[in-house]
Amino acid sequence: MPPTDNQGSFLNRISIRRNQVAYEHEVEDLEQFQKHVADRLSELFHPPEDTPAGEPPETAILSIAWFRKLLDAFLCCEAEFKAVVIMGRDAHNFSKSPLDRLIPDHLDRTVKALDICNAITHGIDLLLHWQKLAQIAVDSLRQKPITEGHVTRAKKALNTLLSSITIDDKENHHHGGKSTAAPSKDHTTIGNLKSLAYPFAKSWSASKQIQAMSSNLTAPRGGEPTGLVVPVHLMSSVLVFVMWAMVAAIPCQERTGLGAHLQLSKQFSWAQPMIGLQDKIGEQWKKKEKKGRSGLLEETQRLEKLGRSLVEFAEGFVFPVEVEKEEEVAAMVGEMGEICREMEEGLVALHMQVRELFNRIVRSRAATLDVLDQLNKMTTPVPY
């Protein structure tokens, strides 16, 4: 029996309600996604309050532990973004303006992010090499009594370390790790360590990659139809920020002017902690940027400071060492040994996270391209 007009009207109302419920769920999911991002960034912005006075907090901004938390947060955000925005999405949504422009722009950023991930993995290899040099010095200076042989071995390792840390970024990595500066008789550079050579063209620049990623990162305007524009802009912003922060801290090829290459919109709640973090890192960059800075990583800076002090001790070494001086050196060696331990454990884990980040970006790109491929098939005329 055909439905009456009343029945038809009732079914239409049910359909509208169901669509409305689905829309409300989608809006709620997108709002929750933005809130979760804001919460994770806020946790990164506020350091723990239970750190003993006088000690650097374990998760101080720009420390290895902090970067591990940053990548954990990003991977969580990326998984949620993929679930809420990409998976099961009606391809027609991506054909509407401005998503038809924002999605390809985001995909272009992910390609550049993959290059940066490769650069970061090589930078971590270099950091692990520095850690090994510092460990040689630690093992030598822990000997009792400290003899001239121990001091000579430690001094050689520390001079190699300091030479590598302070060498000009651009010249160092553009020449496969070879220094163009003339080392002193006590300085050896990382020179022929081919494993640390960067697999990029001489013209490749981490700074220019960041600049290209952020150049068209503009805040969305009101009135967009799908509700997906803000989440896409959010994910692009977080991606650019994470890459920028890693390049600022970890040795990378050519980073001139990096501090000026990131512009983030201020109109969203999730942007506030990210801008706060950017300001803190930017202040450090401006304060410590000079020829030869090999990144703002907390452990690198502490290692360099201790290394210089221990080289001063080595250059003025007289056997036997005075008791007071021996205690002072033992304290510095103990601190350097602790940094070495933190670097060895933390950098291996960070290396794995960067690889996971690379693979995750590749998979998300593939999922997004699948949706766009569906859209192309739907819009391509069928030949008769």
**Residue 24 domain-assigned (yes or no):** no
- Please say if the pLDDT value at position 180 is more than 50: no
Judged by phi (left if over 0) then psi (alpha if -120 to 50, else beta), residue 29 lies in alpha
pLDDT of residue 183: 38
Longest dimension (CA), the chain: 108
∠ CA 232-237-240, rounded to 5° = 125
Tens digits of residue pLDDT in 313-352: 999 988 888 889 999 999 999 999 999 999 999 999 999 9
Residues 280-293, mean pLDDT to the nearest whole number = 74
Handedness of CA 219, 222, 223, 226 (dihedral sign): positive
Identify the CA nearest to 239 among candidates 361, 356, 355: 361
pLDDT of residue 173: 44
Residues 117-136, mean pLDDT to the nearest whole number = 96
**Residue 12 domain-assigned (yes or no):** no
**Residue 23 domain-assigned (yes or no):** no
182 pLDDT band, cuts 50/70/90, is very low
- Please say if the pLDDT value at position 172 is more than 60: no
- Please say if the pLDDT value at position 156 is more than 90: yes
Structure tokens at 123: 């930078």
Q: Among 41-55, 90-104, 134-148, where is mean pLDDT lowest?
A: 41-55
**CA–CA gap between residue 63 and residue 346 (Å, rounded):** 10
**Residue 338 domain-assigned (yes or no):** yes
**Residue 225 domain-assigned (yes or no):** yes
- Please say if the pLDDT value at position 105 is more than 70: yes
pLDDT of residue 205: 92
pLDDT of residue 379: 65
pLDDT of residue 139: 97
More confident residue, 122 or 12: 122
Structure tokens at 69: 């938390």
96 pLDDT band, cuts 50/70/90, is confident
H or E, element range at 14:
helix 5-45
Residues 96-111, mean pLDDT to the nearest whole number = 92
Could you tell me the end-to-end alpha-carbon distance of the chain, in angstroms, rounded to an integer?
Answer: 39
**Residue 279 domain-assigned (yes or no):** yes
pLDDT of residue 346: 96
Identify the CA nearest to 285 among candidates 256, 248, 255: 248
Structure tokens at 21: 């419920």
More confident residue, 233 or 87: 233
- Please say if the pLDDT value at position 54 is more than 80: no
13 pLDDT band, cuts 50/70/90, is low
- Please say if the pLDDT value at position 35 is more than 80: yes
- Domain span including residue 104: 59-373
Instruction: Return the percentage of the chain with pLDDT > 70, whole number.
Output: 77
**Residue 286 domain-assigned (yes or no):** yes
Cis peptide before 98 (omega within 30 of 0): yes
pLDDT of residue 384: 44
171 pLDDT band, cuts 50/70/90, is very low
**CA–CA gap between residue 96 and residue 27 (Å, rounded):** 18
pLDDT, averaged across the chain: 82
Q: How many domains does the chain have?
A: 1
Cis peptide before 225 (omega within 30 of 0): no
More confident residue, 304 or 20: 304
381 pLDDT band, cuts 50/70/90, is low
pLDDT of residue 191: 39
**Residue 165 domain-assigned (yes or no):** yes
Tens digits of residue pLDDT in 343-377: 999 999 999 999 999 999 999 999 999 988 887 77
